[in-house]
Structure 1
Amino acid sequence: MHTARNESSGDAEAVVQAGTVYGGVNLLGHAAPPPSPPPRQLPIDPTRFVNREQTLNRLDEALPTVDGTTATSGSAMTVAAIAGAPGVGKTALAVHWAHRVRQWFADGDLYIDMRGYGPGPALDVGQALDAFLRALHVPAEQIPTDTEGRATLYRSVLAGKRVLIVVDNVSTVGQVRPLLPATPTCMAIITSRSRLSGLVAREGASRMTLDVLSPEEAIALLRDSIGGDRVSTEPGAAAELARRCAYLPLALRIIAERIANAPYATLAEFVTDLALVDQQLDALTVDDDELSDVRTVFSWSYRALPEERARFFRLLGLHAGSDISIAAAAAIAGVSLPQARSLLDQLTAAHLIQNPARHRFLLHDLLRAYALERAQAEESPEQQHRARRRLYTWYLWTAEEGRKVILPYSHAIALPPAEPDIPVTSPGTVAEAMAWFERERLNILDAIRQADELGDHDVAWQLPVVSDGFFELKSYWADWRDVHLIGLRAARSAASRLGEAANLRCLGDAYWRMEQRDTALDYYRQGVNASRDVDDHWVEGFCLRGQGLIHEESGNIEEAIDLYGQAREVFRNYAITRGEGMSLLSLGNCHRVRGHLDNAIAHYQEAVSILDSINDQWSVAWASYPLGLAYQQAGQTDEALQQHERALTLFRRFDDRRSEGLTLAALGDTFHAIDRPDDAQRCWQQALQILAPLGDPHAGTVKRLITQSNIPTNG
């Protein structure tokens, strides 16, 4: 176990690694975590669901039985596709039925919105697979970087399980095919505006086309929403309202909410109002306009809003992401948090936005398109830009506050000042900061892309830099690479050499982590040149150290030592204390590989001392671990035990399970060397229980040590 390494070239060695916790019996009374619960991701079951009895029955018939066949045909059918026009109720139907049967799927339910339609970019199938694998408790480190590898692992994880998968808002067959289960006891429900004919032909999907409501169903929905007496009193007006809503559930719910809030108005008066709005909008109708069927209802409801509420609604249309938090909504509109919360609640009550989760809001695709249309019509280009800049600034500063909590010694860059009314808060703990990043990850990606496309190049290079450590720590490898490729392009568009240097260093780290060493080396070299142009010595030092790591891995130890030495010199000259400590650690590794144990121990000891001086305890653990290995190789077993036990305590404090497993394995080696077989057995067993589920290659070595010592491996 002497070659175990788990280094990072840049920021991420200073923090807790927030991965899923695994393991069994643990040394020194370290409790095993409880088993992870099955994922339950379905959105809230829609209220006032209009009865789609025929389609619900067809879905019931497709439900797999215990042996994986369907209830009626006896064949294994695992895919149901619900197609239909926008606003017809596809998502509501899929989610409602999924709630009815979710207890049948004991191993969980998964839900994802593929964002196939709307102003923003669709979700990539690789991102969807990554999200599903994480929800199924696959460690982030085990998730492949390529889509095919993720799809293969996904099918393997689902094998033999009973999981319901709801894939919403799909635009093409290619966007969903890798998400389909290969196990007949699982089932996938897909919603799309497209017929997805390829799924029917190749996968044997059962396709159900959802039409608009019948006149009777539409009137029943109105009766349920506004009261049967009003509908019975004016049946003709109720029928005309349903017709003017194009028999679409989305439009009917919006109009019903307004009627319910006006108990003394007649339905005929609402019909007259709608007819007037319809005439005013006729001139705006164009071919292939997805809003043509609902614009009258949307406009009628929008015009009835007080100006503050109407402005808030249309500004939400400028947001690039699929959902929005209260604080982000406050930022884009330039209002206080209490105001934003109140306005969001009012728009939700009017059925103009949805509230699918606590403190999260979203617009239906059609309403989002309408909100954007109104913003572009009623807000000047300058006003639209200011609103977006307020939102970008909120993301920048909230991410920056998270960076300072998660990665206190990482690269700090100057950001544009935040306006006083932008509600930036600081997370109190690492867990809070990581949770914020996880909630906002897709919105951050969308904001970076939008800022680059619309010419806000400063934001497009800064936001990747302040978010960098999160993408690395959570192993979002492809996203990590992609945001910095955008960031680099944006920095060059903005003529910011500092932006280039920062993103080049991050790209070096990303490609190194993805084991594309030649590409990483090129980015590190470019990063050194750019950083020297702007005197950014932090970036310069870590780009030099990054090159050293690659040369060390390639066996070019002399070149690695030279680069580590250069990095150390930069860090020491400019009082970058942690960088100096990490360079010493790397130099110690090189000397240990060459068998120069006295030199290795001296470098490690100095690294521990420096990192202790700034209270960087996670990095102290990573210096103590190889120091223990060097002592062990030198035959100084008491010192080796002391360093490994210190490292073990610290890794456990930070829930760094892989490092804990490697340290336990090294402790086992040391106990074995001093003839303490019971302690060696306990440490190796616990190391195997941690490393095997993580897919760590050192698990095989530990298992062989156990086997050679005739120790049962507990399976």
Structure 2
Amino acid sequence: MAAEPGPVAEIIDRCARLPLALAVVAARAASRPTFPLSALVAELREAGGDLDGLAGTEPSTDVRSVFSWSYQALSTAARQVFAALGLAPGVDISLTAVNCLTALPVETLRAPMRELENGYLVEQTLPNRYRMHDLLRLYATELAKEIDGTARHAALRRLVDMYLVVAGRARSQVMFSPRIHEVVDVSSGDPSWPEFQESTEALDWLDTERANLIALVKSLAEHGWHDDVWRFAWLLHGFFRARQHKADWLEIGRLGVSAADRTGDHLARFHAANCLGGAYMAAERWDEAIALYQDALVVTQADNDLEKTAIVMNNIGISLVNSGDAVAAIDYLEQALTLARQAGSVDDEAVYSLNLGDGYNAIGRYLEGLSHNQAARKLFHTLGKRLHGAIAAVNIAQSYFGLADLAKAADTAEQASAEFRALGAWYDLAKHLLWVGHIRTALGQKDLATQAWTDAMDTFQRMNDPRAHEVQQLLNESI
């Protein structure tokens, strides 16, 4: 062992320091004394998706047998819980999720979970949150396959329903979502499931569950749960935008569109298109976003659905503004606002006023931009939508800047900055700080401009956003 410290360390790590697994490896090594430990490490690496890399002809050299010995020593309740854990596709699991998989009350679960901890079969990494080593998770997955098909489906259905409801509650905090009732009933489910009072709480939960949610959606797509896949794609839209998880956004967005197409449901296709379209916009793939929205527009117009037609027209307008063709965008944005007012939708009127104001700013018609942006901010304040109210303040500051009213521009910009910080909306704040730097530069406040751009660059670099290069250039030019 002293001659091969590297392989020894890797063996310990791959066995999760589990005495039983280490005993298996030791027995395997002892049975082949002429083999270097590096050869055994290679077997462990190749095990990948199953336990075959640790299989042996004798019980003492077969990890399945060793894990089985440990498993059989558990109480009946602990065995049932451990097997149920194999149904979860993610990397770790909350006690709430275990409750869904087992249908056992949380308080009843604590004893078997402690038993699993004491047996080194699970590790509690945070309060009420557990993780298994890869080898044990593979074993649990094998045990889960032995669960009766009806019971297995019911367990997964409970887990999926929980994640749908809680992801819906999170989206309601993270992103303006007046049509969430078309996707999920956030008031349903168990009263103990997580709820959120602020966007920061919702984002914390989404950050923690991110890997599990991604794994779950992929698994659902693989097994044909199409109606759930498109719903998750839409529900995660706001999270992906807030954290700029562009690769996840594109991948889950594509799965959502594919799933929606398989259902043949127009509502599903509409919502899935909006998620993937947003991902294309975030990736600055404007042509693909517009093409996707144009396809959705055909569907909403064929259904004579004025509200959804307005949404798609608004999205096309936003894409055109950001692609540099704001002149062409104005017509789409005007039509969207008109349809919202005809439908009497205050929620939509607020959003479309905001985007139309942005469009007018982009073509230099700042008075019209100011009017629409101020109307939007007032509506968002009435609706209690703080994030979008802050975004409206950004647009108002840009209108004032275009009108050369620098004092009002600076004052409004500072209001927006404070509101973004209070909400923990760091990506929106970073984008806004680009403008703050320009405003401070125009006022001759070089130090404040440099500070704004430095703060923006820190966020963009952390999110791997290409705007970091733009900010670096601004900082270089300001020296």
| Aligned mate of 2:166, from 398, 407, 422 | 398
Match status 1:89 vs 2:45: no
Instruction: Give the aligned partner of residue 398 of structure 2.
Output: 629
Partners of 2:372 and 2:448 lie apart in 1 by: 27
Ranked by relative contact order (alpha carbons within 8 Å, sequence separation 6 or more), the top structure is 1
**C-alpha distance 688-336 of structure 1, shift in aligned 2 (>3 A):** same
**C-alpha distance 289-642 of structure 1, shift in aligned 2 (>3 A):** closer
Q: Which structure: greater helix fraction? A: 2
Partners of 1:641 and 1:411 lie apart in 2 by: 35
Per the TM alignment, residue 315 of structure 1 is displaced from its structure 2 partner at its CA by: 1.3
| Aligned mate of 1:697, from 467, 470, 479 | 470
**C-alpha distance 526-654 of structure 1, shift in aligned 2 (>3 A):** same
Per the TM alignment, residue 420 of structure 1 is displaced from its structure 2 partner at its CA by: 5.9
SS in 2 for 1:525: helix
Match status 1:212 vs 2:212: no
**C-alpha distance 82-538 of structure 1, shift in aligned 2 (>3 A):** farther
Partners of 1:498 and 1:370 lie apart in 2 by: 40
**C-alpha distance 541-419 of structure 1, shift in aligned 2 (>3 A):** closer
Name which one, 1 or 2, has greater alpha-carbon Rg. Answer: 1
Code of the residue aligned with 2:420 in structure 1: it is F
Code of the residue aligned with 1:479 in structure 2: it is D
Partners of 2:194 and 2:423 lie apart in 1 by: 24
CA contact (8 A) 2:317 2:330 kept: yes
Code of the residue aligned with 1:691 in structure 2: it is A
Instruction: Give the aligned partner of residue 528 of structure 1.
Output: 297
CA contact (8 A) 1:600 1:630 kept: yes
Instruction: Give the aligned partner of residue 449 of structure 2.
Output: 684
CA contact (8 A) 1:83 1:90 kept: yes
SS in 2 for 1:89: helix
Partners of 2:126 and 2:294 lie apart in 1 by: 45
Q: CA RMSD in A?
A: 3.4
Partners of 1:422 and 1:631 lie apart in 2 by: 47
Code of the residue aligned with 2:295 in structure 1: it is Q
Instruction: Give the aligned partner of residue 471 of structure 1.
Output: 240
Q: State the TM-score, normalized to the length of structure 2.
A: 0.81
Match status 1:389 vs 2:389: no
CA contact (8 A) 1:437 1:470 kept: yes
Superposed CA deviations along residues 620-645 of structure 1, whole A, max 9, x for unmatched, are 33223332333333344444344334
Instruction: Give the aligned partner of residue 376 of structure 1.
Output: 145
Q: Which runs of 5+ in 2 are unaligned?
A: 32-39, 42-50, 57-61, 461-467
Identity %: 24
CA contact (8 A) 1:334 1:421 kept: no
Partners of 1:420 and 1:517 lie apart in 2 by: 39
Superposed CA deviations along residues 267-319 of structure 1, whole A, max 9, x for unmatched, are xxxxxxxxxxxxxxxxxxxx968555133333333334333222211111111
Partners of 1:557 and 1:521 lie apart in 2 by: 13
Match status 1:500 vs 2:423: no
Q: State the TM-score, normalized to the length of structure 1.
A: 0.56
Instruction: Give the aligned partner of residue 128 of structure 1.
Output: none
CA contact (8 A) 1:460 1:487 kept: yes
Equivalent runs, 1:250-399 vs 2, <5 Å: 293-377=62-146, 379-399=147-167
Partners of 2:302 and 2:73 lie apart in 1 by: 57
Instruction: Give the aligned partner of residue 365 of structure 2.
Output: 596
CA contact (8 A) 1:691 1:699 kept: no
CA contact (8 A) 2:165 2:188 kept: no
Instruction: Give the aligned partner of residue 431 of structure 1.
Output: 200
CA contact (8 A) 1:355 1:361 kept: yes
CA contact (8 A) 2:170 2:196 kept: yes
**C-alpha distance 537-337 of structure 1, shift in aligned 2 (>3 A):** farther
Q: Which runs of 5+ in 1 are unaligned?
A: 1-51, 60-80, 96-209, 219-246, 249-286, 673-679, 708-715
Per the TM alignment, residue 323 of structure 1 is displaced from its structure 2 partner at its CA by: 1.7
| Aligned mate of 2:375, from 606, 623, 632 | 606
Equivalent runs, 1:63-212 vs 2, <5 Å: 89-91=12-14, 212=25
**C-alpha distance 323-590 of structure 1, shift in aligned 2 (>3 A):** closer
Partners of 1:653 and 1:504 lie apart in 2 by: 31
**C-alpha distance 365-596 of structure 1, shift in aligned 2 (>3 A):** closer
Partners of 1:421 and 1:654 lie apart in 2 by: 27
Code of the residue aligned with 1:349 in structure 2: it is N
Per the TM alignment, residue 388 of structure 1 is displaced from its structure 2 partner at its CA by: 0.9
Code of the residue aligned with 2:433 in structure 1: it is G
SS in 1 for 2:124: strand
CA contact (8 A) 2:430 2:457 kept: no
CA contact (8 A) 1:322 1:362 kept: yes
